[in-house]
């Protein structure tokens, strides 16, 4: 499922290509993908200028002039493609937006679990109000992260992926930032010290920054010739690397499952019962080494 780095990548690439364009036509092939009748959706979207694309948590917000916004959540299996009908993947699109200046269209695929809803400002504000702070918000620092996590119980990973606690992190990047911090993802929050919670902040920022720089880990290209999207997939330190050697110490990466979620970690570098098991005994050095890969 796309997380913050994937959606931030899509946001930037789309703003370069469609910001300022007018939606000439909106085609809907699956009414369950939207939240209003098809005729109402078309009436509110067609003829509107797309001012910009924003991101909030794991969603993209397509801001239309007049105040409405299209809120996209790709969920599991969703993707987008921007291009001509000849370039588009041979898949059924649930929604297609056509713009005013050329033959390229924005296709929304795989939205069986995901959605593209249209909201007026009050309804959108009510929806977004349920989300926790964004990790990229400059007002969200180490103390704010520690305080947010302290309000949760249970394992660290489940707090990191709770969108009401912190908005935008999912399975992949929770595991990646726990590895960067040298902390076991299933460590109970009640067993963690304030200094350990604060250690997560630079690990979170470094992990997300690297993932955004390389286009996230989802490898579905946004347009023909897209060389950025998915570039982080081969740079994951632990996620989806079960059985492969740890880049830090060589121990095989453990894959397990907890509460229905896959969890990846290094048993030597991220010991469950205490401080990081880094062979040098220096968590900062361990993080530095992990970032070099």
What CATH number is associated with residue 14? 3.20.190.10
238 close to 266: Cβ distance less than 8 angstroms: yes
89 is an active site residue = no
Looking at the fold, whether 146 and 244 belong to one and the same domain comes out as: yes
Looking at the fold, whether 146 and 124 belong to one and the same domain comes out as: no
Tens digit of each residue's pLDDT (9 = 90 or more) over 161-203: 999 999 999 999 999 999 999 999 999 999 998 888 888 999 9
Q: pLDDT category, 276, cuts 50, 70, 90?
A: very low
3 is an active site residue = yes
Best CA proximity match to 49, nearest among 79, 70, 74: 70
Tens digit of each residue's pLDDT (9 = 90 or more) over 112-162: 999 999 999 999 999 999 999 999 999 999 999 999 999 888 999 999 999
Looking at the fold, whether 122 and 166 belong to one and the same domain comes out as: no
Looking at the fold, whether 26 and 59 belong to one and the same domain comes out as: yes
113 close to 71: Cβ distance less than 8 angstroms: no
Q: Which two tokens stand for residue 94?
A: 């649930």
Q: What domain range includes position 203? A: 142-275
Looking at the fold, whether 115 and 194 belong to one and the same domain comes out as: no
Residue 24 lies in a domain: yes
* 247 vs 268: CA distance, rounded Å: 12
What's the structural domain count of the chain? 2
210 is an active site residue = no
Which residue of the set 44, 48, 55, 58 is catalytic? 58
Residue 289 lies in a domain: no
Residue 233 belongs to domain with CATH number:
1.10.8.50
Q: Categorise residue 263: left if φ over 0, alpha if ψ from -120 to 50, beta otherwise.
A: beta
- pLDDT value at residue 198: 85
Looking at the fold, whether 165 and 124 belong to one and the same domain comes out as: no
Which residue of the set 49, 127, 261, 262 is catalytic? 261
> What number of CA atoms fall less than 13 Å from residue 116's CA on the CB side?
27
112 is an active site residue = no
CA 152 to chain centroid, in Å, comes to 21
Query: Could you give the angle at which helices 194-213 and 283-292 cross, rounded to 10 degrees?
Result: 10
Residue 119 lies in a domain: yes
């Amino acid at each position: 499922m796309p997380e913050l780095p994937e959606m931030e990548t899509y946001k930037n690439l789309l703003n370069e290509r469609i910001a300022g364009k007018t939606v000439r036509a909106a085609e809907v092939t699956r009414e369950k993908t939207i939240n209003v009748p098809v005729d109402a959706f078309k009436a509110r979207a067609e003829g509107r200028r797309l001012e910009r694309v924003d991101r909030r948590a794991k969603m993209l917000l397509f801001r239309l002039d007049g105040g409405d916004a299209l809120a996209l959540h790709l969920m599991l299996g969703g993707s987008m493609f921007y291009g001509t009908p000849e370039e588009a993947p041979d898949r059924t699109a649930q929604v297609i937006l056509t713009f005013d200046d050329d033959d390229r269209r924005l296709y929304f695929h795989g939205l069986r679990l995901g959605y593209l809803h249209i909201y007026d400002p009050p309804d959108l504000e009510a929806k977004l109000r349920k989300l926790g702070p964004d990790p990229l918000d400059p007002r969200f620092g180490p103390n704010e992260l520690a305080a947010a996590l302290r309000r949760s119980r249970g394992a660290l990973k489940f707090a990191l992926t709770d969108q009401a606690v912190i908005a935008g992190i999912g399975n992949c990047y929770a595991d990646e930032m726990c590895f960067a911090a040298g902390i076991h993802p299933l460590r109970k929050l009640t067993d963690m010290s304030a200094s350990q919670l604060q250690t997560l902040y630079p690990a979170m920022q470094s992990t997300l920054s690297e993932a955004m720089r390389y286009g996230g880990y989802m490898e579905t290209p946004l347009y023909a010739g897209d060389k950025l999207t998915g570039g982080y997939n081969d740079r994951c330190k632990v996620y989806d690397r079960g059985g492969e050697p740890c880049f830090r110490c060589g121990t095989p990466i453990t894959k397990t499952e907890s509460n229905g979620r896959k969890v990846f970690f290094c048993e030597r570098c991220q010991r469950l019962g205490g401080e990081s098991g880094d062979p040098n005994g220096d968590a900062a050095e361990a993080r530095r080494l992990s970032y070099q890969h």
